[in-house]
Amino acid sequence: MAEKISVVVTDYIETDLDWEAAEMARRGVDFACYQLKAASEQEVAEKTRHADVVVVNMVKITPTLMDSWEKCKLVIRHGAGYDNVDVDAATERGIGVEYVPDYCMHEVAEQALALIFACVRKVAWSRKVLDDSVARGEWDFAPVIPMFRLDGATVGIIGCGRIGSLTYHKLEHFGVKFLICDPYLSDKRKAGLGIETVDLKTLLNNSDIVTLHTPLNDETRHIMNAETIAMMKPSAYLINTSRGGMVNVDDLAAALKNNTIAGAGIDVYEKEPPSPDYPLLGLDNAVLTPHLSWYSKDAEQTIREKIVQAINMFIDGTGPRMPVNPEVFQTGKDG
């Protein structure tokens, strides 16, 4: 009889994985789940040694750990990033890596819209105005004046992939114009979206709102810095729901204090959570949320279903679902 496939979850954020266990039992899979986030690498190695598939949330997947594995062919990272998995080392060892970048696209796009509206309508700041006016017994709107109308404004989208294009579609109904910068978009994709692209400077010079939706890499790290922020209109807002490292936060803080730009809506930080001396804390023209763009009750269930789907595709030989190192899967098919 063929040996059962073994799936081991190193750590998870759900209350329990009973649903996954039942799904795996239906497929005859040997399923085990642990909470090894704080465990030693040796303990993680002991628990994962016999796994064919390792599902990981926060545990670090290092070359040493991979060397302890007897037959693992697939690591699935629970989430849209995979910083904790040494992908190069996995590729060298013929281990496929998958991730789940597509479980919270609507949520992140909706958060971008929420931050845009919060900035343009100065929602959080207006609450302070209300509280002050209540204390004084008369209105004083001065701190939040002026505001501008979103209808007719220009939204600049930097990166028009999964989330950027959804942000575009959701905003289409608000009477805004668009400038889109994404040098890697194919002509077919542009035609499908019905858009043209522009260079970064054109976008920054002419947008009332600039929203960031690219991956963080050597090209995009600190793409927003003193020089590029200065290219924005003084009345413009910067929105970042992508990765903290895309913005030089000291330069942004200086720009917000000097009114080089009007404000910023930020969900992501270079250090998470940010330190108490994070320079945007306490600035009225900065709307800050705690890296929760990804979250909704629905997204929580979607990621569970997509991970089970990825495991089933592995079992059926129809994968990979969302590969990080596609060359490994290709080799597997050819060989």
Ligand X SMILES: NC(=O)c1ccc[n+]([C@@H]2O[C@H](COP(=O)([O-])OP(=O)(O)OC[C@H]3O[C@@H](n4cnc5c(N)ncnc54)[C@H](O)[C@@H]3O)[C@@H](O)[C@H]2O)c1
List interacting residues with ligand X (CB under 6 A).
80-81, 101, 104, 108, 158-164, 181-185, 213-216, 219-220, 241-243, 267-268, 291, 293-294
User: Is the sign of the CA dihedral 35, 37, 38, 42 positive or negative?
Assistant: positive
Q: Which is nearer to ligand X, 10 or 293 (CB)?
A: 293
Find the helix or strand (DSSP H, E) in which 30 lies: strand 30-33
Identify the three-state secondary structure at position 154.
Answer: strand
Residue nearest to ligand X (CB): 161
* Cβ at position 326, least distance to ligand X in Å: 14
Q: How far is the CB of 245 from ligand X (least distance, A)?
A: 9
Helix (H) or strand (E) holding 26: helix 18-26
For the bound state, the minimum distance from the C-beta of residue 133 to ligand X, rounded and expressed in Å, comes to 34
Mapped onto helix, strand or coil, the DSSP state of residue 66 is helix
Task: Return the number of the residue (155 or 181) whose C-beta is nearest ligand X.
Answer: 181
Question: 73 or 243, CB closer to ligand X?
Answer: 243
Query: Is the N-terminal amide bond of 273 cis, ω within 30° of 0?
Result: yes
Instruction: Tell me how far, at minimum, the Cβ of 292 lies from ligand X, in Å.
Output: 7
3 state SS for 283-315: CCCEEECCCCCCCCHHHHHHHHHHHHHHHHHHH
| Residue that is written with structure tokens 């895309």 in the block | 246
Residue with smaller CB distance to ligand X, 264 or 268: 268
Residues listed for the chain: 335
- Assess contact for 157 and 213: CB atoms under 8 A: yes
Q: Are 47 and 32 in contact (CB under 8 A)?
A: yes
Cis previous bond, 215, omega within 30: no
Neighbours of 138 (CB within 10 A): 6
Toward ligand X, which CB reaches closer, 50 or 170?
170
Question: Strand 53-56 relative to strand 96-98: parallel, antiparallel, unpaired?
Answer: unpaired
Task: State the catalytic residues.
Answer: 243, 272, 291
Minimum distance, C-beta of residue 112 to ligand X, in the bound complex (Å): 9
